[in-house]
Structure 1
Amino acid sequence: MFFIVLAAVAGATTWWQRGAGVFGDTLQQALGLLLWISPVLVGALLVSAYVQRLVPRATMEHWLGGRSGLRGLTVATIAGAMTPGGPFTAFPLVVGLHRAGASTEVCVAYLTAWSVLGLNRVLVWELPFLGVDFVALRLLVSLPLPFLAGFATRLIIRWVRP
C-alpha cells in the first residue's frame, strides 16, 4: 500500500508541476515497463510455487537445508551464479526455495552469488567492456563471497537465536 500511495502522490505532483502531457508520457513508460517485466515475474513466481510442490521437503533439506553445510552453499553458489535476470526473477526463486526447506544461509549464499557472480551479466556486459583479464580477476576475488555470506549468516543466526 505504501508504494501505491507513493506512486499516486508522485503522479499527482508530476501532473501539477509538469502538466498532463508529461504525466501521460510517464504513465505510458511505466505501463510499458510493467508489460515487459510481468511475464518474467509471473514465470518466476510459478517456478517458485512449483519448486515448493515438486521437490520433496526431505530432498530440499538434504541438498539445501540447515545441515547441508558446504554442499548446500556450493549448490546455492552455482545456482545463483547461473540465474539470469534481475531481482524479479531471483527473489521469487529464493522465497520458493526457502519455503521448500532451504536454509537461510543457503538462500543468502544464493542471492550473494546471483548479485556478485551472475554469469549472464559477465558474458553480456563485463567481458565485452572490461576484458578477460579484469573479469577473471574480479570473479576470482568474488568467488569466496557467497560462502562467506552463508557462513556469516549461520554465525549471526546462532548468535541471535542461541
Structure 2
Amino acid sequence: MLYAYLSVLALTLALGVLGHRHEHVRHRAVLQGAWQQLAPLLIRLPIALIAASFLGELIPQALFGRWLGENSGFIGILIASVLGGVLPGGPVVAFPLILVFERAGVGVPQLIALLTGWSCVALHRTLAFELPTLGWPFVWRRWLVSMILVPMAGLIALAWL
C-alpha cells in the first residue's frame, strides 16, 4: 500500500512539474477539478468501509472458508469469478467488500478471480452502459472472452502463489 501511495505521489509531483512548465496549464483549475472528484469520496468511502465491516461481521467466516478459502481450489475460483461478475457498484462499494472477503479468509487466487470478474464482467455496468451503447453482438463476444479470462487469472494465481 505504501508503494502504491508513493508511486501515485511521485507521478502527481512529476505531472505538476510538467504542468508548471506549460503556461496554458492552470493550477487552480486542476486543483478545483481534483477537489470535485475527491469531495464525494470523503463522504462515501468511510460509509462504505463501515457498511462492509458490518457485512463482514454478519456473514459467517466459515462460509467464506468453505466456499472461497485457500483450499476451495478451482471450484472456489469459479464461485469467486461469478460473484465478482455480479458484485454491484463501483470501486467505493467493491473494494471495501473485497477487503471484508480478504479478512474473512478468502484465498488469494479466489480474490484475484473475484476482482478480475468485477473488473471484466461487471453485469451491472454491462446492462446499464455497454449493452445499450454497443449491442448484444459485441457484449456476447466480450463476455465469452471474459468468462475464459476471469477464471484463468485465478488459476494462474493458484499456480504461482
TM score, norm. by length of structure 2: 0.78
1:74 correspondence with 2:70: no
* 1:47 corresponding residue in structure 2: 51
> For residues 62 and 10 of structure 1, do their structure 2 counterparts lie closer, same or farther at Cα, with a shift above 3 Å needed?
same
Query: Mind listing any 5+ residue stretches in structure 2 that lack a counterpart?
Result: none
* 1:115 corresponding residue in structure 2: 119
> For residues 133 and 5 of structure 1, do their structure 2 counterparts lie closer, same or farther at Cα, with a shift above 3 Å needed?
closer
* 1:149 corresponding residue in structure 2: 153
Q: Percent identity?
A: 34
Distance 1:143 1:126 in 2: 16
Q: CA shift at 1:97, angstroms?
A: 0.7
> For residues 125 and 70 of structure 1, do their structure 2 counterparts lie closer, same or farther at Cα, with a shift above 3 Å needed?
same
CA RMSD of aligned residues (A): 2.7
TM score, norm. by length of structure 1: 0.78
Distance 1:30 1:116 in 2: 27
1:62 correspondence with 2:66: yes
Q: CA shift at 1:5, angstroms?
A: 6.3
Which one-letter code corresponds to 2:38 in the other structure?
A: L
Deviations 1:79-124 (A, max 9, x none): 2112234434333322221111100111011011111101122112
How many corresponding residue pairs? 156
* 1:160 corresponding residue in structure 2: none
Query: Mind listing any 5+ residue stretches in structure 1 that lack a counterpart?
Result: 158-162
> For residues 123 and 40 of structure 1, do their structure 2 counterparts lie closer, same or farther at Cα, with a shift above 3 Å needed?
farther
* 2:106 corresponding residue in structure 1: 102
SS in 2 for 1:67: helix
Question: Is the Cα contact below 8 Å between 1:44 and 1:89 reproduced in 2?
Answer: yes
Which one-letter code corresponds to 1:66 in the other structure?
A: E
